[in-house]
Homo-oligomer: A and B are copies of this chain.
């Protein structure tokens, strides 16, 4: 049920050590927010989880099995950029996954099967607020719309693990809070574990069950190559959230950082955990 175990993970690029001895266990259906300074290796960590890169040392287990050495449909991803296919329409992008999954030779379905997939895709697009844009090409969308499209595309595959790399940076405040609610709902409904990189602590506290901060313990310029980042702090969000339904503490409507009406104290507070 999508439990991730990371054991003594190192990642080096040539001489440079990027990640240093990371050990983590991510519970099934957790929603982990990954924060940390720019260039500390957050994207690299996601790539390792995805199977796009191979760890230098250490291992990653998914439900006790070593992670396949290449990406597959069990793990979905939304990248910082380049996330959608520029030559497919919005609808085509969202349908691509289910089509390729079932039509192994042409990668396309026809007739009723196609209509069924298209219907599902339209529903997903409506959820991310892209209804009406089905026939546009990605280049005709704003950055934020492209990110939502990428999200819809990834969600269509119902991955066991969803990896998000700063997915909501380009969004309007209004749309951002819509998407936050969508994420929350999908995470509740679908049995998936989410790992999300973000720069926005508020967002992290709004969505995540757990916040992991990467940091470099030694960061003087001359040390930068020789020491990688490791887990600096690891915070469980309080009141605890869990997938599958609202707790008594969370209301249906999660206020968002950018709603001008509400700049009071936020809903989540923190409680340090472990060393």
* Complex Cα–Cα for A142 and B80 (A): 13
Interface assignment of A111: CB less than 8 Å from any CB of chain B:
no
The interface residues of chain B lying within 8 Å CB-to-CB of A244 are none
Flag A116-145 by CB within 8 Å of B: 1 or 0 each. 000000000000000010000000001010
* Complex Cα–Cα for A132 and B220 (A): 12
* Complex Cα–Cα for A144 and B169 (A): 13
Interface assignment of A202: CB less than 8 Å from any CB of chain B:
yes
Contact of A264 among B144, B201, B265 (CB under 8 A): B265
Contact of A37 among B37, B172, B258, B265 (CB under 8 A): B172
Interface assignment of A109: CB less than 8 Å from any CB of chain B:
no
The interface residues of chain B lying within 8 Å CB-to-CB of A38 are 142, 144, 172
Interface assignment of A257: CB less than 8 Å from any CB of chain B:
yes
* Complex Cα–Cα for A201 and B172 (A): 10
Shortest CB distance A125–B (Å)? 15
- Closest-by-CB residue of B relative to A269 is B263
Interface assignment of A260: CB less than 8 Å from any CB of chain B:
yes
Give the copy number. 2
Q: Are B266 and A263 closer than 8 Å at their CB atoms?
A: yes
Shortest CB distance A143–B (Å)? 8
Interface assignment of A47: CB less than 8 Å from any CB of chain B:
no
Interface assignment of A174: CB less than 8 Å from any CB of chain B:
yes
Q: Are A201 and B260 closer than 8 Å at their CB atoms?
A: yes
* Complex Cα–Cα for A205 and B9 (A): 43
Q: Are B132 and A202 closer than 8 Å at their CB atoms?
A: no
* Complex Cα–Cα for A172 and B166 (A): 12
